A and B are shown apart, each in its own frame.
Chain A
Amino acid sequence: MVTEPRDGASFGEKAREYLDAFKRKLEKAQKEKFVFLVVGRTGVGKSSTVNTLVGKQVAPVGDWEPTTFEVRPYHSDAGGVRFTIFDTPGLCDSLEEAGNDEGYLALMRSEVPVFDCLWFVTRLDETRVTGDEKRGIRLVSDSFGKKVWEHAVIVFTWAGAYDSSKYPVALKKRTELIRAEIEKYTGNSIAQEIPSVAVDNKTHLTPDGREWLAELYTKVFTRMSERGLLSFLVATASRIDAPPGSGASSYAGYSSTHASASEGPRIKLNTEQAREVKRRINAAVIPSAAVTGAAIGAVFGPAGIAIGGAIGAAIGLFAWFRD
């Protein structure tokens, strides 16, 4: 139902302006890129997790062991958007070249100029924060400053090692311990805000029966820097599925026509996750939201279909995220 705004301009006009502004921002975002920096011990499943989120085999999954510290950039694209994943083999591993902290810092700073989201990856079923992980956390903090942790996500792999009764305690406790280690460099307020998410590369569910990909997507989305946020949205929008009962019927028709263009597993957001994503879009993209959500849905839904492609998918996505 479209209602008339108080200040005279028709609601439809306002919404149209709004849509145009959003579309321009998305078009700009499509030309830009997003960047992840991934840190964690070798062998915990960093590459598999990143590949699942971006929907393609970007980083090789293998059994090789690092012998020297390296920054490895993997460049790819999705939905017409370029992105780069920086892997850091050796950063959280004991290597023979011990004690070479200055070399590590110099390499990190020169090879990783900018990134939008920092992943700290560790096994959920690991029983200790190891010395290597502590050193990795220190090196990241020293390289980029404590502010980088404002764009960080803690990713726990091997969630399936726990049964459903022990899983919540393990997730809570391991999150506390990793945050406590980060807190040494950031202080309390930054560290306590870092969200954690549990994944398992052998199954799409966590022990509590939830789809972890949707949760991972939501946490990464909410932590991305503004610079990369819309690029990430355009790159992934065609893989998003609406929460049940979100009024996404028109969008569902859209996504089926474009399904062939999307790669990777579907990201099935539930209502709560969709709300978190939308809140982040609102905060980052549309600071002065003058149009009610219901009206945005009414105008953007069909418009998204008309625009088509990855940008249309992002607009359609925004449409069914209405309250």
Chain B
Amino acid sequence: MRRFLVIGRTGVGKSSFINSAVGAKLAKTSPFEPCTATVERIAYGTAFGDVCLIDSPGLAEGDRSLDDDYMKSVKREVKIQELDSCLYLSRLNEHRLGGDERRVLNAITSHLGPAIWAKTWLVLTFAASLPSEIRLEAARNRVEQIEGYLRGIIPAPPGFKSFQTKMLVDNVTRNWMEGGAPLAQILVSHP
């Protein structure tokens, strides 16, 4: 069974992503307020195979010390070696890499170690909120913002080049892009 740690700023849709992936409302979600305060493991049998998704409290919900507390609880509950991948979630429809997002990238790097990024997939949420004609361009910009920042903060070795796997998802709108694949299928079988 593949194991994924789902991590990112508060409100980007981590719990909703998990529900989208397993096709059931297993993680508690809230449209306007933080609702995941502890690390939660959700193991689920999908039509494509079993998958374990580990939900984590949203970062940048409060001050830096709260981020530190949350990251310590992640480290306590999750062994990095047991993970197949880490899923870093970020909103597609943000114009710039905000200060809070940079702070989140810093916190993950310092608590989980820079090597975590080599096994991290980038998941851009709220994808359907942008019109299809600008979506890929916006996604390229967003990927470049995040990758560019990580290259700046992670000296070699290990350094950082780019994300091996990048995904666009939307947890609310269905069938928003042609040629999309079910999330569970990607999580179970993507190399």
Which residues from chain A sit less than 8 Å from chain B, CB to CB? Answer: 41-43, 63, 65-66, 90, 93-95, 98, 125-128, 130-132, 134-135, 161, 170, 173-174, 177
B114 within 8 A of partner (CB)? no
> Which B residues, 24 to 49, have Cβ-Cβ distances below 8 Å to chain A?
31-34
Q: Complex: how many Å from CA A174 to CA B32?
A: 7
**In contact, A131 and B98 (Cβ under 8 angstroms):** no
A94 touches which of B13, B32, B99 (Cβ 8 Å): B99
Q: Given A127-B32, A177-B32, are A132 and B95 neighbors across the interface (CB < 8 Å)?
A: no
- Mostly, the A contact residues are loop
Contact of A131 with B63 at beta-carbon distance under 8 Å, contacts A94-B103, A173-B32 already known: yes
Residue of B with least CB distance to A162:
B129
Q: Which residues of B contact A (CB under 8 A)?
A: 9-13, 31-34, 58, 60-64, 66, 93-100, 102-103, 129
**With A93-B100, A173-B32, A177-B33 in contact, do A43 and B64 touch (Cβ < 8 Å)?**
no
Pairs across A and B, CB under 8 Å, 12 listed: A41-B99, A43-B94, A43-B96, A65-B96, A65-B99, A94-B60, A128-B10, A128-B34, A130-B10, A130-B11, A131-B61, A170-B32
B99 touches A127 (CB 8 A): no
CA distance A134 to B66 in the complex (A): 13
Q: Which 5 A-B pairs have the closest CB atoms?
A: A127-B11, A93-B99, A94-B99, A128-B11, A94-B103
A90 to B103, CA, bound (A): 13
Max count, chain A CB within 10 A of own CB: residue among B13, B60, B66: B60
Q: Are the CB atoms of A42 and B98 closer together than 8 Å?
A: yes
Inter-chain CB contacts under 8 Å: number = 72
Q: Are A98 and B32 in contact (CB under 8 A)?
A: no
Question: Shortest Cβ distance from B69 into chain A, in angstroms?
Answer: 13
Residues of chain B within 8 A (CB-CB) of A132 are 60, 98-100
> Measured between alpha carbons, how far is A126 from B94 in the docked complex, in Å?
10
* B60 interface neighbour in A66, A131, A177, Cβ under 8 Å: A131
Pick the most buried of A41, A65, A127, A161: most chain B CB atoms within 10 A of its CB. A127
Q: How far is the CA of A161 from the CA of B93 in the complex (A)?
A: 10
Contact B95 A131 (CB under 8 A): no
Whether B98 contacts A128 by the Cβ 8 Å rule is no
CA distance A132 to B64 in the complex (A): 10
Q: Are B98 and A63 in contact (CB under 8 A)?
A: no
B129 and A128 contact, CB distance less than 8 A = no
Give, as a whole number of angstroms, the nearest-CB distance from A206 to chain B. Answer: 17
A125 CA / B126 CA spacing, docked (Å):
10
Chain A residues in 8 Å Cβ range of B103: 94
Report how far A131 CA is from B66 CA in the complex, Å: 10
Q: Using CB atoms, name the residue of chain B closest to A99.
A: B64
**Inter-chain pairs besides A65-B99, A127-B12, A135-B63, 19 sampled, C-beta below 8 Å:** A42-B96, A42-B99, A63-B95, A63-B96, A65-B97, A90-B99, A93-B99, A94-B103, A125-B129, A130-B9, A130-B100, A131-B60, A131-B61, A131-B63, A161-B129, A170-B31, A170-B32, A173-B31, A174-B32
Contacting residues, chain B, for A174 (C-beta < 8 A): 32
Q: Is the CB of B102 within 8 A of A94?
A: yes
Q: Which residues of chain B are near A135, meaning CB under 8 Å? A: 63
